[in-house]
Structure 1
Amino acid sequence: MRRGSGSVAAMIIVCIVIGGAGCASVISQDLLQRADRTIRFQDLREQPGLYEGKIVLLGGMIVSTKNQPAGTLIEIVQKPLDFEKRPISGDTTFGRFLALYDGYLDPAIYAEGRDVTVAGPVIGLREQPLGEITYSYPLVRAQEIHLWAVRTEDRAYPYPPGGWWGYPPWWRYPYWGPWY
């Protein structure tokens, strides 16, 4: 065995860890550090005035995108975020919020049903019609916004290729597929 092979392996591991840490978030580290992660969406929705000016990190599914003179206004159904800061698929939500982006975003790209993560300060409350009611939306100025790729893990794969002979019944997708 060669001398020094352990130190080469250690250097490779350190490079992987350091390199991966820089790509770990879709929102800049500066904004993540300034975000108040203790603010729950339920509290923000009930008393947005208490949190005006505080930076929040929110995510969800886009309902609509409208370009206005003040910027692009995105209506979002709030969803909890996972460890990657991606909205978790499912029916869990505590309401809706609006994100105001200071530039132009194409509604064909930022389309209904896409997942998005937004970071920026709370700028108040906006009431607008939602169906036949008036809904109070927390309003966030989107300093950074990340549009997620369309999910593909909802595909149905009943068994691994070649049938399930010899595999236990629990051996199904996503257990044998890529981890997200």
Structure 2
Amino acid sequence: MSLLPLISCNKSGWPDGPRRQQESDMMRNSRSDMMKRTMVVGALALLLGACSSVPKELAYEPENQLVAYQPALGGMEGKPARWSGVISAVHNKADQSVIEVVYLPLKSNGVPEQTEQSPGRFLAIMKGFVDPTLYAKGRSLTVLGTLGQPVDSQIGEHKYRFSVLNVTGSKLWPPVKEVEVRYMDPYFYDPFYDPFWPRRPLRR
């Protein structure tokens, strides 16, 4: 009687045991890879959704047509824009309200960045009356609208040309404590201007 163990073979002559083990390992690895890919795709979807989720009143498509902020921006009347910043003043007129805003850069979700510097200001024109108590000085604001013609005015005794945005949608945010404003005078160029020279911050 033979002492060799009985080993079942398939038609090709190879033992069934190692082949079955190999097939089992391949199936297990395949399931593991599929789960990993599913988790990665899900995480990316959540991340992209969080990054692009702006309030509905600020939504605009396609976003690549939105005009970026520039001081004294002219020649772009009627173009769409979405800007944000900190309210500096509110002027209520007979049929509209003019909100003076210290510009701050936008995050991808529409919230103003908490920076300590600003390239300038703009005027947000809203139809009707807005309550200065709600749109108070220091309140963060993001507005969506179309560009109007720049307006020449003053900040204190300083002549200033404001970019203008006719508002179609807006969102108020928690206030920002302090913003430093470096004004760009559209009527004057100083070749000796040093952008890194310290300036006093604007306090409210």
TM over 0.5: yes
The structure number with the bigger radius of gyration is 2
Aligned length: 137
Question: 1:128 and 2:157 equivalent?
Answer: no
What residue number does 2:68 align with? 40
TM-score of the superposed pair, with normalisation by structure 2: 0.57
**Residue identity opposite 1:26 in structure 2:** P
Aligned to 2:165, the other structure's residue is in SS state: strand
**Residue identity opposite 1:67 in structure 2:** N
2:86 and 2:144 map into 1 onto residues whose CA distance is 15
Farther-moved stretch of structure 1 (23-32 vs 73-82):
23-32
User: What is the identity percentage for the equivalent residue pairs of Structure 1 and Structure 2?
Assistant: 26
Aligned to 1:40, the other structure's residue is in SS state: coil
Relative to structure 1, the CA distance from residue 32 to residue 61 in structure 2 (aligned partners, 3 Å threshold; closer, same or farther) is: farther
Farther-moved stretch of structure 1 (73-82 vs 63-72):
63-72
**Residue identity opposite 2:93 in structure 1:** Q
What residue number does 1:54 align with? 79
TM-score of the superposed pair, with normalisation by structure 1: 0.64
Q: How does 1:1-180 map to 2 (within 5 A)?
A: 24-28=53-57, 31-33=60-62, 36-37=65-66, 39-42=67-70, 45-48=71-74, 50-150=75-175
Q: Please, which runs of 5 or more residues in structure 1 have no aligned partner? A: 1-5, 153-180
Q: Please, which runs of 5 or more residues in structure 2 have no aligned partner? A: 1-34, 178-204
Shift of 1:66: 1.7
Whether the 8 Å contact between 1:34 and 1:55 is mirrored in structure 2 is no
Q: Which runs of 4+ in 1 moved over 4 A?
A: none
**Residue identity opposite 2:119 in structure 1:** F
Whether the 8 Å contact between 2:152 and 2:160 is mirrored in structure 1 is yes
